[in-house]
Amino acid sequence: MIDKAKKVTSKYLSHYLDVPKGFGKIAWLVLVESLAMSVSFFISIYFSKALGFNQAQIGYCISIMLSGSFCGALTCGYLTSKIRPVLLTSAGFILFGAAFSFLSITQSFYNMLPVMFACGFSSVLMMTSNLTSLVKLSDDDHFKNKALVLQSVIFNFTVTITAYIISSFSYQSLKSLFILISASLFVAGIMTIKMSLGATESVNNCNKEKDFRPNYSLLTCIIPMIICYSVVFAMVKSLFAIDAINRFDNNGLSWVIMSLNPLLVVFMQPTLFSFLKNKNNILLMTVGGVCLCLGYLFFGITKLFIPSLFFIVLATIGEMIVSPISKRLASSSLGQGYEGMGLSMWKVVYYISGMIGASSTGYIGHRLGHEFAWLVCLPLSLIIIFSYWRFNKVSTNTVLSHT
């Protein structure tokens, strides 16, 4: 019995420990990025509770942030083919730290808009450059996928901690947290400049000839999924944290609701990913996308605690499937040596859709109520199903470990 338990534990841990060579040197950069991004994930609470912004204003702020992210993705897509990703990470740390400093002292809605644009622009610099560093660690697609999954695990682990901190803070004291994050980003940016990370990319990767060869059939398969995925998470950023706080007049219950998604990702995604690695990509993305949309659709219209938990689990399973598949495929969609540009393309589509989604659903939530805003998930799920039906023929036999 003990031996069997040890074997099961060892197999479970292998999903986390079997990583590409050099992952540890990038992991701390991902951790710093994740801490900063996890705080910004709950920024709608600060806008609503501390600054008194209405739902439409919050939606516009998120939309402006996404427009900055869009511009950052375009810039970073080009720069990753010219400059080492770690230097872009350093620039992103310093710029994001400066943006957080202004965030802590800005109170006017109109003055907040350029601050949110700067947050979006700088955040995508560090995120895209870190993702590029991860996918360049290995030529093996399975290890590329594993690196992306572990990046998601690190991010969601920090979101869990941040959710607990924010649920315990008074809303006005969140300014102190912004200042702390700002200082941490400045220090990390300076340390990254000074550190030599030449070993993070193998000699083989560094010497590869670039071959720009877009896979248009692959692009047309994944872009509709990215659009729907983005709109859903634009709603999550605008509505989810506020609903979790307002729906349950209990900090403990609110923390459970806000942290369930990241906890599931931390403890389930590597195992789930290993189980599904040889399945058809497009079918997996379709099932995952539908689970994501329906999960948040029913979360939005229920008022009870236990059903809310169940629907978050459903949505999280969809997220865990869709995110790594679409990112890995995007990184290889433009050809050898253009992984960063492929990931930037993913983010450009994500942010364009997010800008529209955040402003429109924020307006719907303000005018008609949050329940009506969450209903947008229903047509999104139908778009995903239609996309699978439309592109199934060209996507047959595409599996997760092969493009």
pLDDT tens digits, one per residue of 91-140:
889 999 999 889 888 888 899 999 999 998 998 888 888 888 787 776 66
pTM, two decimals, is 0.72
Average pLDDT of the chain to the nearest whole number: 79
Query: Cβ–Cβ contacts within 10 Å for residue 399, how many?
Result: 14
In a domain, 114, yes or no: yes
pLDDT per position as a tens digit, 299-316: 888 888 888 889 999 999
Residue of 392, 396, 316, 339 whose CA lies nearest to 141: 339
Q: Can you tell me the distance from the alpha carbon of 403 to that of 396, in angstroms, rounded to the nearest whole number? A: 11
At residue 290, the pLDDT reads: 93
Residue 180, Ramachandran bin (φ over 0: left; ψ between -120 and 50: alpha; else beta): alpha
Report the alpha-carbon distance of residue 83 to residue 193 in Å, rounded: 13
Compute the average pLDDT of residues 137-154: 74
CATH number for the domain that contains residue 67: 1.20.1250.20
Residue range 17-29, pLDDT digits in tens: 766 677 777 888 8
pLDDT for 212 equals 66
With respect to residue 203, please indicate whether it lies within any of the assigned structural domains: no
The percentage of residues in the chain with a pLDDT greater than 90, rounded to a whole number, is: 11
369 belongs to a structural domain? yes
In the chain, % of residues over pLDDT 70: 86
Residue ranges making up the domain that contains 372: 22-197+211-395
- Structural domain includes residue 86: yes
Q: Is 13 part of any domain? A: no
Chain segment 168-197, per-residue pLDDT in tens: 666 667 788 888 888 889 988 888 887 655
The confidence score (pLDDT) of residue 294 equals: 93
Q: Rounded mean pLDDT of 369-391?
A: 84
Q: What is the pLDDT of residue 203?
A: 38
pLDDT interval class at 199 (50, 70, 90)? very low
**Does 14 map to a domain?**
no
Please choose, from the candidates 397, 381, 371, 160, the residue with its C-alpha nearest in 3D space to the C-alpha of residue 265.
160
The answer to whether residue 7 sits within a structural domain is: no
Task: Tell me whether residue 160 is in a domain.
Answer: yes
User: What is the count of structural domains for the chain?
Assistant: 1
Buried b (16+ CB within 10 A) or exposed e, 359-379: bbbbebbbeeebeebbebbee
